Amino acid sequence: MIRLLFVVSEDWYFLSHRLHLAEAAIAAGYKVALLSRVSQHRTQIEASGVEVIDWSLDRCSRNPFCELHFLREVYVALRRIRPDIVHAVALKPVLYSALACRLAGVHARVSALGGLGFVFSSRKFLARLLRPVLVLAFRWALRGRDARLILQNPDDQAILLAADVIEVGRIRLIRGVGVDTSAFFPQAEVSNVPLVVLPARLLWDKGVGEFVDCARSIKQKGIHARFALVGEPDAHNPECVPVAQLEAWAAEGAVEWWGRRADMPEVLRQAAVVCLPSSYGEGLPKALLEAASCGRPIVTYNVPGCREVVVDGENGILVPLKDGQALAAALEKLLRDPELRRRMGAAGRAMVLREFSQERVATETMRVWEEVLA
């Protein structure tokens, strides 16, 4: 029996983005374990047949002694599970599992990056300072004949190839993490007052401020619409929007703040339009795939990852980066035209069924596992 170990920062992320891969592996006869920081989802993950190992990882930590402890925990898990293959997702899991695998003698490794994140997308001093260090670290971590890197969009691939991080022959492009099209399906809009939602971690780089500005300007024109932020701040990210700011916007009446929701199909059923004005280093946003699967038109910036989901004018509108007037105009156009929303939503649903289903992503991922095991 092939033993597969996932190394992921947070159990909630594994549940929402990778559990279906584990279930596909178990159905194919693999024995699957997860090393992750456990918050409240152990029971649900274990019910799927995945062994869960708690990892004390703190994504915010910069303490070298803590980092050594996190690394040691990966090594201990590898020695206990003795996996045939390790599948690591995101920055610290990729780097720490690469070192631990070398120490433990595990050769078959798959690294997955759901976007290049803050360090590669931000122009802030900290990001520019860390970028060359991270390039060197990735260059080392991704070495190995039996190592593969999964990326979600060709823009990220071009950046890493230009930085000479990895050769093209060991990169595999799998577009997104897949959508459960049976759970996220089209339904009619439920209200005569159209609702625009921004579903994401509430970071400045996700365009939260721009979204609020658009809500204000559209309401000032007398257009009857609601705007909701659906998500919570990520305190581990330097771009985190303070809770006090979110509460102030909600008190002002500019937008509603719904917090994190576990019932996203219901949220999207209530929505008329989904907006993600993100300048973050996205891979291929799952929230936009779910919106398209539910037949909702999308307004987003024309940036890597987001433009993989939207064909401009067909299933949504692509807006130039940081162009607040164009963003507001795109939202206004859709709010004024229910038939355009319906037509774009249908095109988005067809795209997801054709290109982005969970089944397709699982099949492509399992091919990568088989390749490194061969």
Q: Residue 244: inside a domain, yes or no?
A: yes
154 and 232 share one domain: no
Residues 51 and 92 in one domain: yes
Angle at 112 between CA 110 and CA 117, to 5 degrees: 155
For 362, the token pair is 């699982």
The rounded distance, in Å, linking the Cα atoms of 185 and 210 is 28
Measured between alpha carbons, how far is 237 from 235 in angstroms, rounded to an integer? 5
H-run or E-run covering 16: helix 11-17
34, 155: one domain: yes
- Residues of the chain predicted below pLDDT 70: 121
Token code pair at residue 203? 């970071």
Instruction: Say if residue 314 is in the same domain as residue 366.
Output: no
Q: Which amino acid is at 311?
A: V
In a domain, 38, yes or no: yes
Degrees, nearest 5: CA angle 192-193-194? 105
Integer Cα distance of 98 and 95 in angstroms:
5
Q: How far apart are CA 219 and CA 290, in angstroms?
A: 27
**Cβ contacts of residue 222 below 8 Å, gap of 6+?**
none
Q: Is residue 260 part of a domain?
A: yes
Sheet containing strand 256-259, strands side by side: 256-259, 226-230, 195-199, 273-276, 298-301, 316-319
- Tell me, yes or no, whether 246 lies in a domain: yes
Statement to judge: residues 291 and 366 lie in one domain? no
Answer whether residue 181 is part of any domain: no
In a domain, 108, yes or no: yes
Enumerate residues 6+ apart whose C-beta is below 8 A from 118.
127, 205, 237, 238, 239, 280, 281
C-alpha–C-alpha distance, residues 327 and 277, integer Å? 8
Residue 182 belongs to some domain of the structure: no
Q: Element (H or E) spanning 228, and its range?
A: strand 226-230
Residue 189 in domain? no
* Shared-domain flag, residues 206 and 115: no
Q: What is the pTM of this model?
A: 0.91
Does one domain contain both 208 and 172? no
Q: Got the DSSP string for 303-350?
A: -TTGGGT--BTTTEEEE-TT-HHHHHHHHHHHHT-HHHHHHHHHHHHH
* Separation of alpha carbons 344 and 68, rounded Å: 50
Q: In this structure, are residues 110 and 94 in contact, taking their beta carbons and an 8 Å threshold? A: no
Give the structural domain span for 238.
Answer: 195-355
Whether the Cβ atoms of residue 197 and residue 263 lie closer than 8 Å to each other: no
Q: 128 and 267 in one domain?
A: no
Q: 200 and 333: one domain?
A: yes
| Closest C-alpha among 252, 195, 182, 203 to residue 226 | 195
Per the structure, the count of domains in the chain is 2
For the chain, the helix, strand and coil percentages under 3-state DSSP, each to the nearest 5: 45, 20, 35
Say which CATH number the domain at 149 has: 3.40.50.2000
- CA pair distance 296, 335, nearest whole angstrom: 12
* Same domain for 36 and 145: yes
- Both 207 and 153 in one domain: the answer is no
DSSP string, 127-152: HHHHHHHHHHHHHHHT-STTEEEEES
Give the C-alpha separation, 301 to 298, whole Å. Answer: 10
- Sequence-ordered list of residues with C-beta below 8 angstroms from that of 156, at least 6 positions apart, any chain: 113, 115, 116, 281, 283, 304, 305
For residues 115 and 21, state if they share a domain.
yes
User: How much is the pLDDT for 48?
Assistant: 97
Q: What's the pLDDT at 217?
A: 96
What is the spatial distance between Cα 201 and Cα 204, in angstroms, rounded to a whole number? 9
For residues 22 and 44, the answer to whether their CB atoms sit within 8 Å is no
Residue type, 270: Q
Ramachandran region, residue 144 (left: φ > 0; alpha: ψ -120 to 50; beta: rest): left
